[in-house]
Amino acid sequence: MPYNAGFMCGFGLTGSAWTCDGVPLSAIAAAVGTPAYVYSAATIRDRLGAFSAGFASYPHAIHYALKANSNLAVVRVVRAAGGLVDANSGGEIDVALRAGYAPGDIVLTGVGKTPAEIDRAVALGVKAINAESSGELDRIAAVARARQTIARVALRVNPDVAADSHPHISTGLSTHKFGVPIGAARAIARQAGARGELAFVGLHVHVASQMLGLEPLRQAAAAVVGLARELRDDHVTVEHVDLGGGLGIAYDGEPVPSADQYAAALIEVVRPSGLTLVVEPGRAIVGAAGALLTSVVDVKPQSGGKWFVVLDAGMSELMRPALYGAYHRIVLVEPRATDPVSCDVVGPICESSDVFGVDRRLPLPAVGAVVAVLDAGAYGSAMASNYNRHALPVEVMVDAGAWRVVRRRQTIDDQLVCEE
């Protein structure tokens, strides 16, 4: 589908009710129950289209980071829209293959690849295994030798660049566990480039996630482009620089660089090198494309005139608020006309960190009302768990005005099948 920035899609108020691509969220909740994740196929296409348009003037590849959301239906929408994939585990490679991807469409990242994952990636012949250490390069080479093949590898470099993001999702400082120190990378890459079992195809870097500024990305890009130049002097030529993911989204209306601005900043740094530019966006593709529908199960007053609004979903369905103090907008899918009151919107899990929002101004909802937690398409369902024996939620895809279940709700038998 050609990218059309004017096309309205996603979650919004249509008349007096919240909708996804025009479909009322209350109708979906009534049909499938809550908690439920709802995705907008049009938004995923729109976001991928924005990235493709931004990079159109320069050789590039967009590898969607499966870790953000690897529901098969989501991945199939990404594939149909022309996105390639970044897998972070053997499981994500399997999902990519089932979604119809070829090995050459997959890059494998991961700070702790198991022998089985390395073997699988080498046997399949993925586009690049982003190696995290010289020891891992040795292990990849040994597998390639045993399999009498040549493994395509890139080296993940730690650029020692600070990013203005949450410490838990910043990865580019020398104290972080990711990649090899930039100062050691040249020698390691030169060695790898000289090995017959390896095709040394690229340099990889990922600074942080949910970045709202472009400067750390520019710095990281400049560092790997400089390294690629040094390697050329060493007669090691690479095909691409992979600059990872990291572009943030506006959870609370904060200003965020557009896909165009992001692409322009990276292209400006990489263009003089002529190297193909690879990126691995996750959140920026699917974050705004998903919402978590959850029902109010209790409403009770607390001291100071505030209220607790207790939901049927909590940190087991959406971990981001508990884990990072992350902000997500919370709306009543059928807003009431009453005056807003101050609410702490909480989950049902027996932990005090199980809070979706503090001091939110909402019309006091009735028990049974459905609320939508917005911008939950990335790292929502993907990080859900069975904590407190909650079932993994049902997932719904809205596409072209219709919707369908793309993952049924887990049953207790599903949970126990591996235990009995």
Binding site for ligand LLP (CB under 6 A): 65, 67-68, 86, 109, 169, 206, 209-210, 244-247, 280-284, 320, 324, 378-379
Measure the CA–CA gap between 134 and 179, rounded to whole angstroms.
Answer: 10
Sequence-distant (≥ 6) Cβ neighbours of residue 141 within 8 angstroms: 151, 192, 195, 197, 198
Write the burial class of residue 385 (CB in 10 Å: 0-12 exposed, 13-18 middle, 19+ buried): exposed
Peptide bond into 321 cis (omega under 30): no
Can you give 355-393 as a three-state secondary structure string?
Answer: EEEEEEEEECCCCCCEEEECCCCCCCHHHCCCHHHCCCC
Question: Measured in whole angstroms, how far is the alpha carbon of residue 417 from the centre of its chain?
Answer: 29
> Is 350 a known active-site residue?
yes
Which one, 307 or 379, has the nearer CB to ligand LLP?
A: 379
The C-alpha angle with vertex 305 and arms to 300 and 306, in degrees rounded to 5, equals: 55
Smallest gap, in angstroms, from Cβ of residue 354 to ligand LLP? 16
Q: Which of 9, 343, 350, 418 is catalytic?
A: 350
Asked if 205 and 223 touch (Cβ cutoff 8 Å), the reply is yes
**Alpha carbons 181 and 177: distance in angstroms, whole number:** 10
Nearer to ligand LLP, 151 or 169 (CB): 169
Smaller CB distance to ligand LLP: residue 20 or 65?
Answer: 65
Closest residue to bound ligand LLP by CB: 245
Q: How far is the CB of 174 from ligand LLP (least distance, A)?
A: 17
Nearer to ligand LLP, 372 or 384 (CB): 384
State the chain's maximal CA–CA distance in angstroms.
71
The C-alpha atoms of residue 381 and residue 95 are separated, in whole angstroms, by 15
Question: Comparing C-alpha atoms, which of 379, 417, 413 is closest to residue 65?
Answer: 379
Distance in Å, CB of 268 to ligand LLP, minimum: 20
- Minimal distance, residue 92 CB to ligand LLP, in Å: 12
Task: State which residue, 86 or 312, has the beta carbon closest to ligand LLP.
Answer: 86
Shortest Å distance, C-beta 166 to ligand LLP: 7
Active site residues: 350
